[in-house]
Amino acid sequence: MLMKSKNLVIGIIVVIVVAGGYFLLGGQGQKETGPIQLGFVGPLTGDAATIGLNAQTAMQLAIDEINAAGGVNGRQLKGIYEDGKCTGKDAANAAQKLINVDGVPVIIGGACSAETSAFTGIANDAGRVVLSYCSSAPTLSGVSPYFFRDYPSDAFAGIFAARYMKDTLGVNNAAVLYTVDDWGVGLQDSFVTEFEKLGGTITTKESFERTSRDLRTQLTKVKASNPEGIFFLGFPEASIPGIKQMKELGLNVPTVGGDTWGDPTIWEDVGTLGDGLEYIEITTPLSDEFKAKMNELAGGITLCGPQAYDATYVIAQVIEKVGTNPDDIRAELHNVEYTDGVSSDVIKFEDNGDLATANYAVRRIENGAIAPLE
């Protein structure tokens, strides 16, 4: 009887140790052998897939380069890619899988602010680091001590756009047309606040669903408000028909778009109807080597690809220094000052996780394509 009891106690201890080991894998980092798994969330299907697929390619390129150079502390990196579809529900499911099944210490993503907003709480509760390569909604600033982004907050983009339209284009009254999601709402709010601060007047603000294909009602209201300029925030699926309908209605005032207009598929469809339109984007110190590799692998570089590439290198550098424990990674990210990137001269994070500095430029559509920067 004593022997049976002893065996039972040993058996219970073994189960607890094994279960505890699994919990540590799922909750506080990965095993110290085998590949280091990094999670990815982004739109791999749907209207924003151009962004997500390019980011996936860029992240995998960084992983391949790091592995070819010997990996991280002798271990290979492995990317696990999940489709967030630019929706909160799908992104939350993707993050749950990466955390609870794959046990990743870090999620690189999401792309759309709606994706990232949906799973930062999940990651925070699980004690996992999130480094977004594309989400720019101001509402994400400081959302979690585990949240970081190497793409700038739209708090900066809105200010830049407002100053450009007011001071450079001479627009004194503007209409705003924006998609109803975290990105669109946050960016238009930043723009409106700064534009009015500069003495400008907003003639109307018209919103639409991200996947809308008919913006005639909103555009008719915009035209009736008689603006001198338009700030237009939309993803490709709504921007393509929206631009065409804008031209059909005779809205030919200066129009500036958000960074989503950096997606070349918009202009491939719209063609020369888009000539004269402009959009804002962050400037990136792209290397010739990176451009050549991305041209070969993906046919070019789209919005946020460079940031996904740099995010991977930043995380690899941090893991090499402190290991895979998420709390150690989180703490070390506040000490990062990465100067070898292709998306920014220096990647450094504020206390709230935001990228510390960013520079912007205005791009123009000419002959049905994005004109080179002068």
Name which residue leads in pLDDT, 366 or 28. Answer: 366
| Residues near 227 by beta carbon (within 8 Å), at least 6 away in sequence | 171, 173, 174, 175, 203, 204, 253
Angle, nearest 10°, between helix axes 49-68 and 288-298?
120
Average confidence (pLDDT) over 238-266: 96
Judged against a pLDDT cut of 70, whether residue 341 lies above it is answered with yes
User: CA 347 to CA 131: how far, in whole Å?
Assistant: 12
Judged against a pLDDT cut of 90, whether residue 25 lies above it is answered with no
Average confidence (pLDDT) over 98-115: 98
Q: pLDDT at position 373, please? A: 76
Judged against a pLDDT cut of 50, whether residue 9 lies above it is answered with no
Average confidence (pLDDT) over 257-284: 96
> In this structure, are strands 278-282 and 360-366 parallel, antiparallel, or unpaired?
antiparallel
Tell me how far apart the terminal alpha carbons of the chain are, to the nearest angstrom.
Answer: 86
Question: Average per-residue pLDDT in the chain?
Answer: 92
Judged against a pLDDT cut of 50, whether residue 14 lies above it is answered with no
Helix (H, G, I), strand (E, B) or coil at 263: coil
For residue 259, report the phi and psi dihedrals to the nearest 5 degrees.
-65, -15
Name which residue leads in pLDDT, 13 or 58. Answer: 58
CATH, domain 36-153+285-348, list 3.50.50.60, 2.140.10.10, 3.40.50.2300, 3.40.50.720: 3.40.50.2300
Tokens coding 197: 């601060």
87 band by pLDDT with thresholds 50, 70 and 90: very high
In the chain, residues under CATH classification 3.40.50.2300 are: 36-153+285-348, 155-282+360-370
- The strand order across the sheet containing 278-282 reads 201-208, 173-179, 229-233, 255-257, 278-282, 360-366, 369-370
Average confidence (pLDDT) over 108-135: 98
Q: Is there a contact between 256 and 164 (Cβ–Cβ < 8 Å)?
A: yes
Q: What is the pLDDT of residues 133-149, one digit of tens each?
A: 999 999 999 999 999 99
Q: pTM value?
A: 0.85
Q: pLDDT at position 186, please? A: 94
Q: What is the pLDDT of residues 29-83, one digit of tens each?
A: 455 679 999 999 999 999 899 999 999 999 999 999 999 999 999 999 999 999 9
% of the chain with per-residue pLDDT over 90: 90
Task: Calculate the CA dihedral of residues 110, 157, 192, 265 and round it to 10 degrees.
Answer: -60
User: CA 318 to CA 291: how far, in whole Å?
Assistant: 25
Radius of gyration of the chain (CA): 23
User: CA 40 to CA 109: how far, in whole Å?
Assistant: 6
Average confidence (pLDDT) over 258-286: 95
Helix (H, G, I), strand (E, B) or coil at 234: coil
Q: What is the pLDDT of residues 302-340, one digit of tens each?
A: 999 999 999 999 999 999 999 999 999 999 999 999 999
Report domain 155-282+360-370's class: alpha beta
Name which residue leads in pLDDT, 18 or 156. Answer: 156
